[in-house]
Structure 1
Amino acid sequence: MRRHVPLNAIRAFEAVVRHGSVVRAANELCVTPTAVSHQIRLLEDFLQVELFSRRNSRIFPTPGALANVARVSQALDLIDDAVRDLGVTDERAHSSLSISVSASCASLWLVPRIGEFMAGAPETDIHVRTFLTRKEAEAQDSELKICPWRGQSGFQAEPLVEESTTPVCSPDLAARFAGDGREILRHAPLIHVDRGHLGIEADFPDWARYLTEYGLSRPNFNHGLRFNQSGQAVEAAMAGAGVLLGRSLLIGRAVQAGKLVPVAEAYPQRIPSYLLTPLKPRSRRSLDTFRDWLLKTARPDALMQAA
């Protein structure tokens, strides 16, 4: 006969160990710290073993508690998944997933490909949220984020791709310089993307860095068109307004379509992008399905090289 284990007490125990705090565990469980402490003592009485040591009004998990909390967390995840599945009807399999991605990456890379995912997973509703700054991205309560940084509290990071940065311009602009890349870089108008103040993409090279690296001189590296979004800069380059240091993730389709042409070699440093996912996601199944599709789509892409 299965023992009648105190499930609420087990949830309280797991939350306290994971957060390292009774108060934070209480906030997650929507109860008072006193109620959490009561559940901990209830579980200790049930098991007839101490799970925490208490010093100076603080509690610390015992070695036995630390050794077993991972399995408890996995068991609670399984229970959550099973209960969620019980509520799925035949209409069903409809789940939702929210994604945060920069505005430029959304319009130039994700959106042109998202139909492929929707065709293969019609039961998943996708909510795409765009951001311009890192502050906006971190404020969004999304279950998956595509970012050029890896750190955010409550999320785990996984490498997605490494991007290169290549000078590109329209075929018409290249023809004006007879396709001579060095002449284009010396004399064609430069298109800039201002990223530093956004708190994102700061590692991508600017024109001063690129031209200095390759020993090319111009009267002033900073002249030309300036944009605060990469998407607008790509559109300007396709329109023949100048030459752009384009991110491989964003210019790939335009290059394949012949709307942009590379005029020099890529900058030697590659910049990684990451998938950020919550440590405890709301919808494990839809998150894993989209993540698998994203990795399958991005990593073999000719635009990038896997991280």
Structure 2
Amino acid sequence: MRIKKATVDGVWYADKIGQIFEVVRENSVAILTKCGGHHSVLREDAEVIVTEKRPAEAGERVLITYAAPIEEQAYEKGDVFVAESTNDPVHKCVRVLGMPEYIDYTEYEVIVENEVKYEEADEMKNGKTRYDLAVENAREAIEELRLAAYEQGYEDAKRRIYTKDPAVSAQACRDEIVEQAKADVEKLSNYGDGVRYVTGTGSVATCNVGFVVNSDKRTVVALLKGLRTGKVYAKGIAKAAPSDCFNVHIGKAIALRRALGLTVPDEYLNAPQPTEVRVGDVIEVTLDSGEIEKKPVISLKAGSLNAHLPGRIIQYPSHYAKIINDSREEVGE
């Protein structure tokens, strides 16, 4: 099932337009999906895609259901391609139109139908009475309320941050968002004891939460890896915009929430930029020659705006220097 739209404000899938999820069951009103648990989607907001797990033939459309490579790649879960050649370069793998690399058999399923007609019986459907279906729908509604209550905590935090006295600095807002992100990662990873993840086959795997951080590329990748199998069941990626200051704690919170299929709070995506330099921050300095240096702040001179970098003292703020990384992990913050 692919999310086409969100007709109701505030639904859990409002920021997941275009993403695909496995269907658990459905009725005339809603479709129950797997997304870090079981959550409902209004039928009018979704497109049901029927697939078969078999080798594709040339000319058939394939749906990416699991993008296996860990490194950067040109496709992701939910993408649809047309198979150009099969068993290329190995058995069951395919090459598709417009894509230089091949797609492994474990990564795709063949699309056999995009439109599915649903017939509702008056009293029975799949051996269940209307009463049975009503009970199931009520349980789904309770689950939605539970998830909404969890997310409401982040909405309340956002209001606390952005409705403060205008005199409160952007730096104070950013500091609070960073602390919120740290607590979020700790809670979502079950304080280091792992998470339960519903796999594509419907089984539940206990996974370790791991992160791959690349400060140079300003990216964080969250990986959910099975404790027993060692298999990567899900991943989420966060990448700082070129104009943003990179912060590994905010990046981890964004990446982990994406791996778990949870909504990413707006404050993570739109955190204010830092305005105060601190020990451990990485500063980008543009020299008179046009050369660019990136160095950490090793000390601050009391009573002045001078920041001591390795081999250089600069004034901050200034038009030739900006903070590009305020993670400060090396100094224990």
Q: Place the TM-score, normalised by the shorter chain, in its bin.
A: under 0.3
Q: What is the TM-score normalised by the length of structure 1?
A: 0.24
Write 1 or 2 for the structure with the bigger share of strand.
2
**By percentage of residues, which structure has more helix?**
1
For the pair shown, the structure with the greater C-alpha radius of gyration is 1
Query: Which is bigger in relative contact order (C-alpha 8 A, separation at least 6)?
Result: 1
